[in-house]
Structures are given as C-alpha cells and as structure tokens.
C-alpha cells in the first residue's frame, strides 16, 4: 500500500498491440474514406458538373453512395475489435485481482471490508468494457481522424486551416480548466459510491440486527443523507460536463462563422472554389466531433483514474502466501511453540512468549477467558498469521518451511463460526473433499451427528443452505463443519469451540464419536465449557495472551490456580 507506484494502463494495453494495430489499420480505411468523400463532392461541384462530364459524374456519385456502406461495415468490425480490447483489460484485471486475493494473508485482507473488495472487482468492468472499449480506444481512432482531416484541409487551403487550428488550443485549455474543477467532485462521487457498495453489503447482512435494535429510523436517516449527497454531487458533475460540451459547441459555431466569412471573401476574390468550401463545411464538423470525443475521453479518464488506483492498490500489495514446492510428506503431528509472541497490530500483544510442546497423538484442551488468545493460537498453527517473534514447529520443522498445501491438507480447523457456501449441503461437504463418495459423506455426517437432520430436510443433501448458511442453526452449521473435517481426515485437528452451540446431550454423543475417530491424531480443542476438554491428555490455560498453566485436569485441579477458579465459576451453579 505504501510508496507511490505508477498507475498506468499502458502496459496492459501494449499486450493488446495486435488488436490495436488491426483496429488502427481498419481505422485508416475509415478515415481515408471519410476524408475522401467531401473531396469527391468537391470534384462533382468543381469539375464534373461545370464540364458536363457525365461519366465522371456517374462514377463519383456511385463511389460516394458506396462509401457510407463500406464505412459502416469497417466500423462494425472495428467495434468488435475495440470490445475485445476492452474486454481483455477487464478480464486481465479481474484475474489479477483474484490471483492476488488468494495470496494475501488475513492480516492484510481483513483491513478491507468485504463489500469494498467486491466493489473493486466489479469496477474492472467500468475500466475495461466501458472506458477502454467505449471511450479510450475510440479516442485513439479520433486522434487519427483529426490528423487525417487536418492534413487534407492543409492541402486544400492552408490559410483557412491555420485559422481553424488557432481556435483549437483555446478550446483545449478551456476544457482542461473545467475538468480540473470537476475532478475533486468525481473523486468524491467515487468515494461515495465505494462507500455505498460496502454499506449496502453490510446493511443487507445486518438487516436483522437493525431491526433487533429498532434502528430503522437512524439507518434510513443515514441512507437518505447519503442518497442526497450523492445526487447533489452527481448533478454538479453533470452540470460541469454539460457546460464543457456547451463551450465546445459554442466554439464550433464561432469557428464555423469565421470560416464561412473568410471563405466567402476568398471565393469572391476568385482564390477559392465553391467545392472547397463545401468540402470544408463537411470537414469542419468532423474535426470538431473528433475533438469533442477526445476531450470527452480526457474528462472520463479523469473519472476512471481513481477507480484504477483502487484496483492497483490491491494489485500492488506484496504476495504474502509464497509457497514452497510440495514435498507431500506425511505429518506425524507433534506441535511446538518456541517462545512465540504475536500481535495483530503494532503496540498490542495478543500472545506473549507462549512456549509448549505437544506430542503427536495427544489430545490437548485450551481454556481461558474470551479474548485471551485461544483462537489466535489455532490460526497461528494454520499459518494464517506468522509469529512476531519465536517459531512454530511441526514434527520439529518450522511451519514456514512447509508448503502451504502440505500443511493445510493435513491440518483441519473447525472454526468458531463455520462458513458455508450458498450451495447444497452436498456441495459444501465436497468442498472439503472433492473426491468424497456418497458413502463417505453419509458416514462423516453420521459421525458428526448431523445425518438425521439432513435426512429430514425435504431436499436432503441437495438442500441449498442460503448465503453463509443463514438457513441453518448455529449448531447445525457447527456439525456440518465437523462433518467436513471428518471427510478431510487430517492428521492434526484443531477445534475452536466446535460444540458450543450444541446441547449437552448431543455434545456428549459427538465427543464420543470424535474421540474414537480421532484416536491417534493430534487434537487441539478450544473449549469454553471445561467439561468438553476434561478428558484431554493435557489442558492449557491461556490468560491474557500468556500460557499460564498446563497439565491434566487432575493436575490442574491440584495446582492450577486459574483453572481452579474457572472450574469453580462453571460448576458452583450445578
């Protein structure tokens, strides 16, 4: 994010040089024909008619009639090419963004709101399909048109052309001055737009919370303000846009008047033919149209720059997940934290000097107050984050030396909040193991105590579970998360309060299943309820980011002050 790096679309366009050359080549013909037809008209007026040359007249008229047809054909081919160029820019940007996102660590992408990143992926279409295809590439063609027409005009009448060209820089600076005025407005509009995208995502996700706290009025107030501000800015920007078009139009009329007066004088003095004037009266609007297009492209490019900046802001982030080649070695499951400290942000200490060793096959419980750092320990083992100091070893080797794939295919994490896709239950299970057979999935669900639930759904496996699993209860999601883990069958199992939403009965049944199933595998289970980890080989007590006590339940009951306190808190009610 730091450091100013170039934001330029040019390198991307250069990759499209073949299509651009083809477009330019086609354009050359179009421009040629557009430039030639007024000339032919001049010939009709100045030669064919006065000389009564019927054959010349017929030929000229035939050519003049066919030219628009050819222009239309060539232009539609050229449009296809421009669409392809723009589409390619959109697709490249989107692919680069998605490629980048999977290489970022949660530490980085959690800084962005999800709607914000989604908005940037979406805006690639505005950059490529809309701006590049419909504005920028046509503007390149307009430049060619401008050059072509100017050259012919010079050839026909240099003095008149110079007169026309004097008007152009005046127009240019005037419109630049206007765009400078609109630029801050456009930036503000984009900011507001980006904000809306994020807000709309959040608002729709949190609509229930809005209703729960009865904050509809406050939210509506905020939305109304937003909508009003946005419209005000848009109107102002539209006003400036229209105003600048008006200025250009005014310039055109003025220029037209001057050209006509000057041409009339020259014709009266016999220095110019009527045909040349007719040709000029066609060239002149064409010339101004191309200037208008170029100028509009310039205005729009100012609007697209901030969007491009937002895309490049992500693309310029360093890759964080850089992988070693896979060695596909099988993990045994011993985990060591060697003096690990970690903080999410500078100045805070989520974990300090955590030091422990877990043998392969051990069942470890982690308990402690909320916010003490339990989930963070699991995330560190998954290498979602890296220690600020110290090292984490698996089977005696630093986890940074493993390929991500080797590590994550053999470590399974069931998070506190299980994320499920808005697909069928079956698809979600297969996400954990694409090759899973029906039989395997049935078994996994049975082990996870969720089979009965699935079977009583009207569509069974094929039930679509709603965005983020909204159609499921917390306990059902947790059990599906466990079923996913069972399917993956990893060597190291990390459970983050996976049964917190279950009733005691279901939890006990599930625990029994899992203890059998996970026998011989390393299991690290974070639990809020001490009863959940009572049978663990050893229990770690985390207090405010420090590992304060570690031992079996019995040992801790004897000499673990904090554990005793937690125990007393939980069981005195019973």
Ligand X SMILES: Nc1ncnc2c1ncn2[C@@H]1O[C@H](COP(=O)(O)OP(=O)(O)O)[C@@H](O)[C@H]1O
Contacts with ligand X, residue ranges (CB under 6 A)? 110, 344-345, 350, 368, 370-376
Nearest approach, Cβ of 344 to ligand X (angstroms)? 3
Nearer to ligand X, 372 or 511 (CB): 372
Q: Which does 180 bind (CB under 5 to 8 A by kind): ligand X, Mg ion, none?
A: none
Nearest approach, Cβ of 317 to ligand X (angstroms)? 17
Nearest approach, Cβ of 348 to ligand X (angstroms)? 7
Cα separation, 299 vs 182, in Å, equals: 9
> Which residues between 227 and 286 bind Mg ion (CB under 5 A)?
none
Nearest approach, Cβ of 342 to ligand X (angstroms)? 9
Nearer to ligand X, 197 or 375 (CB): 375
Nearer to ligand X, 55 or 370 (CB): 370
Q: Which does 350 bind (CB under 5 to 8 A by kind): Mg ion, ligand X, none?
A: ligand X
| Options 16, 150, 295, 375; binder of Mg ion; rule CB under 5 A | 375
Nearest Cα to Cα of residue 35 among 256, 280, 277, 251: 280
Size of the site for Mg ion (CB under 5 A): 1
Instruction: Reduce the DSSP state of residue 338 to 3 states and report it.
Output: strand
Which residues touch 418 (CB under 8 Å, ≥6 apart)?
A: 469, 477, 478, 480, 481
Cα separation, 38 vs 284, in Å, equals: 11
Nearest approach, Cβ of 390 to ligand X (angstroms)? 16
Instruction: Report which DSSP code applies to 32.
Output: H
Q: Which does 452 bind (CB under 5 to 8 A by kind): ligand X, Mg ion, none?
A: none
Q: Which does 376 bind (CB under 5 to 8 A by kind): Mg ion, ligand X, none?
A: ligand X
Cα separation, 574 vs 564, in Å, equals: 16
Nearer to ligand X, 84 or 500 (CB): 500
Cα separation, 146 vs 140, in Å, equals: 10
| Residues 177/299, Cβ–Cβ less than 8 Å | no
Cα separation, 155 vs 106, in Å, equals: 65
Q: Which does 371 bind (CB under 5 to 8 A by kind): ligand X, Mg ion, none?
A: ligand X
| Residues 311/93, Cβ–Cβ less than 8 Å | yes
Nearer to ligand X, 476 or 496 (CB): 496
Nearest approach, Cβ of 416 to Mg ion (angstroms)? 5
Nearest approach, Cβ of 297 to Mg ion (angstroms)? 52
Q: Which does 373 bind (CB under 5 to 8 A by kind): Mg ion, ligand X, none?
A: ligand X
**Which CA distances in Å does 381 have to 320, 386, 398, 404?**
16, 9, 11, 11
DSSP H helices, 102-157, are 106-109, 114-125, 137-156
Instruction: Name the site residues for Mg ion (rule: CB under 5 A).
Output: 375
């Amino acid at each position: 994010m730091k450091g100013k790096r170039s934001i330029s679309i040019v390198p991307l366009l250069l990759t499209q040089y073949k299509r651009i050359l083809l477009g330019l080549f086609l354009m050359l013909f179009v421009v040629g024909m557009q430039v030639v037809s007024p000339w032919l008209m001049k010939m009709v007026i100045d030669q064919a008619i006065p000389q009564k040359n019927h054959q010349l007249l017929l030929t000229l008229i035939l050519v003049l009639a066919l030219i628009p047809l050819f222009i239309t054909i060539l232009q539609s081919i050229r449009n296809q090419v421009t669409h392809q160029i723009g589409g390619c820019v959109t697709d490249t940007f989107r692919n680069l963004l998605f490629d980048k996102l999977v290489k970022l660590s949660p530490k980085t992408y959690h800084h962005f709101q999800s709607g914000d990143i989604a908005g940037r992926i979406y805006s690639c279409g505005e950059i490529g399909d809309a701006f590049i295809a419909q504005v920028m590439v046509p503007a390149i063609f307009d430049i060619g048109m401008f050059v072509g027409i100017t050259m012919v005009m010079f050839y026909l009448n240099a003095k008149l052309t110079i007169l026309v060209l004097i008007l152009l820089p005046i127009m240019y600076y005037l419109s630049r001055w206007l765009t400078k005025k609109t630029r801050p407005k456009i930036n503000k509009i984009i900011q507001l737009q980006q904000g809306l995208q994020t807000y709309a995502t959040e608002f729709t996700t949190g609509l229930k919370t809005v209703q729960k706290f009865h904050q509809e009025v406050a939210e509506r107030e905020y939305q109304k303000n937003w909508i009003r501000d946005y419209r005000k800015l848009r109107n102002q920007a539209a006003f400036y846009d229209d105003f600048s078009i008006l200025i250009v139009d005014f310039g055109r009329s003025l220029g037209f008047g001057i050209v006509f007066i000057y041409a009339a004088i020259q014709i009266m003095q016999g220095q110019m033919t009527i045909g040349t004037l007719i040709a000029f009266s066609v060239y002149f609007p064409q010339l101004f149209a191309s200037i208008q297009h170029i100028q509009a492209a310039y205005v729009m490019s100012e609007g697209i720059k901030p969007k491009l900046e937002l895309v490049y802001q992500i693309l310029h982030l360093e890759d964080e997940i850089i992988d070693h080649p896979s060695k596909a070695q099988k993990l045994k499951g011993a985990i060591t934290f060697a003096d690990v400290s970690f903080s999410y942000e500078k100045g805070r200490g989520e974990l300090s000097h955590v030091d422990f060793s877990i043998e392969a096959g051990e069942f470890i419980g982690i308990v402690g107050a909320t916010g003490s750092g339990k989930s963070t320990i699991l995330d560190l083992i998954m290498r979602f984050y890296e220690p600020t100091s110290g090292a984490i070893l698996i089977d005696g080797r630093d986890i940074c030396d493993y390929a991500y794939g080797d590590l994550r295919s053999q470590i399974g994490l069931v998070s506190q909040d299980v994320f499920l896709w808005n697909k069928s239950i079956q698809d979600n299970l297969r996400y954990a193991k694409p090759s899973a057979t029906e039989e395997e999935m049935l078994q996994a669900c049975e082990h996870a105590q969720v089979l009965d639930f699935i079977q009583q759904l009207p569509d069974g496996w094929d039930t679509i579970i709603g965005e983020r699993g909204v159609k499921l209860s917390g306990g059902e999601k947790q059990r599906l998360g466990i079923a996913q883990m069972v399917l993956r069958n990893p060597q190291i199992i990390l459970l983050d309060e996976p049964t917190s939403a279950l009733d005691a009965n279901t939890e006990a049944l599930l625990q029994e299943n899992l203890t059998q199933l996970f026998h011989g595998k390393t299991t690290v289970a974070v639990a809020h309820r001490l009863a959940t980890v009572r049978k663990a080989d050893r229990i770690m007590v985390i207090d405010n980011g420090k590992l304060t006590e570690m031992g079996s339940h019995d040992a801790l009951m004897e000499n673990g002050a904090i554990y005793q306190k937690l125990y007393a808190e939980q069981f005195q009610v019973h």
